Structure 1
Amino acid sequence: MTRPFTPYPFSPRHYPGEVPALVDGRDPATKAVAIVGGGPVGMTLALALARQGVRSVLIEADDSVCTGSRAICISRRSLEIFKRLGVVEGFLQKGLPWTGGRSFYRDTEVFRFTMHQDDEQSLPPMINIAQYQIEQLLLDEIERHADLIEVRWQTRVTAIEQLPDGGALLALRTGQTGHTGTAWQMRTDWVAACDGGRSTIREALGLKLTGTTYEGRYVIVDIELDSARATERLAYFDPPSNPGSTVLVHKQPDNVWRIDYQLRDDEDPDAAVQPENVLPRVQSVLDAMGETGAWSPIWITVYKANALTLERYRHGSVLFAGDAAHLVPIFGVRGANSGIDDADNLGWKLGCVVNGMASPDLLDSYSDERVFAARENLSYGMKSTEFMAPPSFAFDLMRTAVLGLADQHAAVRPLINPRQTHAIAYLRSPLNDAAGNAASDSFSRGPAPGTVLPECRLLKRTGDGASMAIHLTDLLEPGFTALRFGADPAQDDAWQQLQRTLAERRIPFGTITLGRSDAPCSAKPCTIDPTGHLHDMLDARPGTVYLIRPDGHVLARWRDGSAADAQRALGAVLTI
């Protein structure tokens, strides 16, 4: 039984479009960073910069956080980033955690997957939370950093000029849509284009995304439905309720559900989104699931899959991130998550440049690493898309065979795997070479340079002998961190001197001393690996040092590391 359309259970705050005090039509203050686009990517970048004391102005065309059905799945990697930014608690309180999903062919379950989750983890592998809730949580934190983050609502970029002496001049218009409002200009040292798939900045610079655009279209429907069903990813291939279609179902907070279904080739997309055509399809899906409660439609839209990217993400003083840099198919939930990872990578590097810790050349590594990540994400996303919506007769024949065999033959079931998003390892990053990682070859296992540090349970011992349970990621501040295993007290003075030297240069750096439970601990406080699990995962022994980047990736590692080794590695990356 359906009810009339209802609004989302969310009331956004609305903000006026305000223009700063102008001199001859221009903001007289040159901005360090202008972030164009106030979605999850732009907001994450603003917070990452603020954690380093870097001021930014966030330019957003709308007067509030987003509306409608957009990103809904946030990965563990994104949650780790939000943890470092101090905003993760709101996500964990509001989001619905899930660990896996099931796929059905017609009316038979043919595949079940579970994402990695064990007692060592501090965060779930995935949560479902609507994008308007994501943005509101980030905006709440931004407003707590009003001294560092200036938000310009109802403001659009109308033109951009890169200046010969560096930086850029932005032409802006604040006020209502169209040609009304106040036109003004702003000079900025750096522009971060986070303005989405229809990026104004990208178009103004004459840049094009390249890759694959798929012909298949999907209807996305959000509904309100009160159900006690568990949170998981549900996929239905050629279900009796919608023959010839593929259907995805996700539960969200506040009794909101998303239903995606593929349109057949002979269906008109314009007609397909009309309520009289959508509502019976949704009802048939719910009937097949055994959901008998009353429901209301909230939102209907149509989606087309793209697998596109820019060739480079740095163009002079302009840096691209999120959908402005790449468009990833929704399958595998890599869109918003890859954009948040962009912001995390760009945030620490741009902060180092603005704060005078590094030359602008460091930003080339942002492009190198995140273009590599985008291509890997696109590769997985394309495989998932081609299975969800076969682009040719041959693909369709293969998929039908796999689905038909999967019930009885376990060997083919992995082909149904949706390949959920995961942290990308920058194994070929130029920063790995700059840091001098020849010593890394002596490790038989553990995260290689460029890889995200794994999570692990630890104990922190205070000076009075008390202990508290923590996780490794609790120790990582928004700076560089040296993990010293079984640290030699004779080297403590050298490490303390390194910290003083870096502090004088305003380079955020800390050291963590890690020992086994049965080993003496000279540092107060110190961190204990009670089961030895972290030592085993990192192939660590007394004297081992891991140097961690501000984004949680390994920069360098040594069997017998010293403060001098860490200083050389940092010097090569930061040119200090």
Structure 2
Amino acid sequence: MPLEKIGPFEYRRFEPTLPAFDKVGHEAKRHQVLVVGGGPVGLATALGLANWGIRSVVVEADDSVCEGSRAACISRRSLEILERLGAVSPFLRKGLPWTRGRSFYGVQEVLVFDMPTGTGDKYPPMINLEQYYIEQYLLDSIDDVNARSPGMVEIRWASKVVECSPGSNGVELRVENALGNYQTEADWIVACDGGQSFVRSSLGLELKGIGYQGRYAIVDIELASDQPAERRAWFDPPWARGTTILMHRQPDDIWRVDYQLAAGLDAAQVLQPEQIRQFVQTHLDAIGEGHLPWTPVWTSLYRAGAMTLDAYRHGRILFAGNAAHAMPIFGVRGLNSGFDDADNLIWKLATVVKGLGTEALLDSYSSERVQAFHINAESAMRSTEFMSPPHGGFELMREACLSLAGRHTGIARLANPRQTHAITYAASPLSSDGRGGAGDWPLGAPLAEAVVPGGGHLTDLLARNAFTLLAFGPCPAMDGVAAAVESPDWPYLPCVCVTVQTDPAALPVPFNPPEGPDVVYLVRPDGHLCGRWDSPSAETVLAAIEVACGAEKRTLT
């Protein structure tokens, strides 16, 4: 039976619908964008496109938001993305911020790590929030958009794609639900249909990489504990020898417990209610919370893997989230990578649909996000191999490290889960560099945060749905850039020119490099740097905007 309520959260169930037909079994309307999958990445993509004025249809197989905590940790970078989507406020009100993680070997604490924080931060490094809230808040934001502009995002619940036929100018899909089935067409498809993606399999595509042997049970419990919201990990605890246990606090007194299954155990037996109850009660007894009443809410099984498609664009079909890649849960890179996919894709697809850039932008989406996968996977695999050793030799090394970690802080760092961080697109084809100093804010990096005079943050100054030319002093090029992009003949995305009235020496090093403070930066709509110069000409900046919209680089006279 589907869940109807978890704590104060009540599920809304949605009925399937059929669109208007122009002939039997064929939808009358062709869509600009159709999103397959209404999880967090699919909803974020549709919401982001709507903010650019692009209508979309979301086809979701379930009749409501997800059950269970699932992807429950949201990074600072993802909060920045949610701000761009106009959806961040409820996440901050409900989510539990945390900065600290603690690891135990047996019963001895061997590592305490604190994620970087500073007085200039707009958001905490991480918040915990169950995925059903994540999806519901995105739906609420979509409702707000539709209230202002009816029909911007249509969600077709309890419907699944059963055929996918790509063509040179679009894609034809067959959609099925309890009321019937029909053909529909779209100029572009964004496949966000998860790890078992139908769209991916229909094209004969496979994820490639590493699948780990370790399996984890995931259990959400309702427990009125006053322990803080911090990540706790127990390696080889005496009450569960040979396993690793993770525990996270979530809103509404919901706690998530992940624990490794011993090799050879039958998963179906382990997930039996009595087996779950016995394991959780033993764990709570051991950490001093067994006297508190608790209730199981949701259970699942998980196997770690670090796998990806070779490319995330296949003609008119674009892949994002778990349909494009799989990440181990350790370091919370799964959903956060998916939000990064959406953030990278939204502005590029909107630019192409609006005719303000070339399809090379969509190839850059693929190349940048595949690069990001490999950066993420390198850290994730190290964490996973430590959490779930792939063979006996690795397990011996891990036990040796943990046994020494309490006395040697350098060794203790090996137990650090290497939390997710913002990715720099170092090899982006969209970047133009007229500077190249080692002390500079690196090309392809997201805008570093800083407090600006009069209050607020540097990211508050970034333009919406446009490039931002950011200067910290006089920039003669600004008048020429503004005049060019405001002309009706300008064929690319606009650019907003911003001068920060402050002493560069008061800002962090990325904005005050050793080579000199008079630097001008060009920032993409997703907040990544795509150009940097000393006193550039307007022509130089305009040429960089062209490149960042997918045009070929040209030689300046």
User: TM-score with structure 1 length normalisation?
Assistant: 0.91
| Kept in 1: contact 2:210–2:307 (CA 8 A) | yes
For residue 509 of structure 1, the aligned residue among 495, 519, 522 is: 495
1:542, distance to aligned residue in structure 2 (A): 6.0
Which residue pairs with 2:521 in the alignment? 546
Separation (CA, whole Å) in 1 of partners of 2:12 and 2:512:
46
| Kept in 1: contact 2:521–2:531 (CA 8 A) | yes
Which residue pairs with 1:30 in the alignment? 30
1:530, distance to aligned residue in structure 2 (A): 8.8
Which residue pairs with 1:217 in the alignment? 215
Separation (CA, whole Å) in 2 of partners of 1:88 and 1:530:
31
1:58, distance to aligned residue in structure 2 (A): 1.0
| Kept in 2: contact 1:357–1:575 (CA 8 A) | no
Which residue pairs with 1:522 in the alignment? none
| Kept in 2: contact 1:487–1:542 (CA 8 A) | no
Distance 1:34 1:536, change over 3 A: closer
Separation (CA, whole Å) in 2 of partners of 1:35 and 1:12:
22
Q: Return 5+ residue gaps in structure 2 as ranges.
A: 552-557
Q: In the TM superposition, what whole-angstrom CA distance separates every residue of 1:32-76 from its partner, at most 9, and x where no partner exists?
A: 111000000001111111121111111111111111231100000
| Kept in 2: contact 1:540–1:559 (CA 8 A) | no
1:573, distance to aligned residue in structure 2 (A): 2.8
For residue 445 of structure 1, the aligned residue among 423, 429, 439 is: 439
Hey, which bits of structure 1, 4+ residues long, moved more than 6 A? none
Structure 2 counterpart SS, 1:145:
helix
Structure 2 counterpart SS, 1:339:
helix
Separation (CA, whole Å) in 1 of partners of 2:398 and 2:123:
34
Separation (CA, whole Å) in 2 of partners of 1:393 and 1:97:
37
1:429, distance to aligned residue in structure 2 (A): 1.4
Residue-pair matches, total: 541
| Kept in 2: contact 1:6–1:298 (CA 8 A) | no
1:239 to 2:237 alignment: yes
Q: What aligned pairs does 1:168-567 form with structure 2 within 5 A after superposition?
A: 168-175=171-178, 181-291=179-289, 292-432=291-431, 435=432, 437=433, 439-441=434-436, 443-459=437-453, 468-476=454-462, 477-488=464-475, 490-501=476-487, 505=491, 507-516=493-502, 531-533=506-508, 536-537=511-512, 543-567=518-542
| Kept in 2: contact 1:197–1:324 (CA 8 A) | yes
Q: Return 5+ residue gaps in structure 1 as ranges.
A: 176-180, 460-467, 518-528
Distance 1:569 1:550, change over 3 A: same
1:417, distance to aligned residue in structure 2 (A): 0.7
Structure 2 counterpart SS, 1:414:
helix
1:536, distance to aligned residue in structure 2 (A): 4.5
Separation (CA, whole Å) in 2 of partners of 1:575 and 1:301:
43
Structure 1 counterpart SS, 2:200:
helix
Separation (CA, whole Å) in 2 of partners of 1:271 and 1:169:
43
User: TM-score with structure 2 length normalisation?
Assistant: 0.94
Which residue pairs with 2:128 in the alignment? 128
Distance 1:6 1:504, change over 3 A: closer
Letter in 2 for 1:159: E
| Kept in 1: contact 2:35–2:58 (CA 8 A) | yes
1:45 to 2:45 alignment: yes
Q: In the TM superposition, what whole-angstrom CA distance separates every residue of 1:94-150 from its partner, at most 9, and x where no partner exists?
A: 100001200000010001111110001000000000000000000001112223111
1:506, distance to aligned residue in structure 2 (A): 6.8
Q: Identity over the aligned pairs, expressed in percent?
A: 47
Structure 2 counterpart SS, 1:428:
coil
1:279, distance to aligned residue in structure 2 (A): 1.2
| Kept in 2: contact 1:456–1:534 (CA 8 A) | no
Which residue pairs with 2:555 in the alignment? none
1:66 to 2:66 alignment: yes
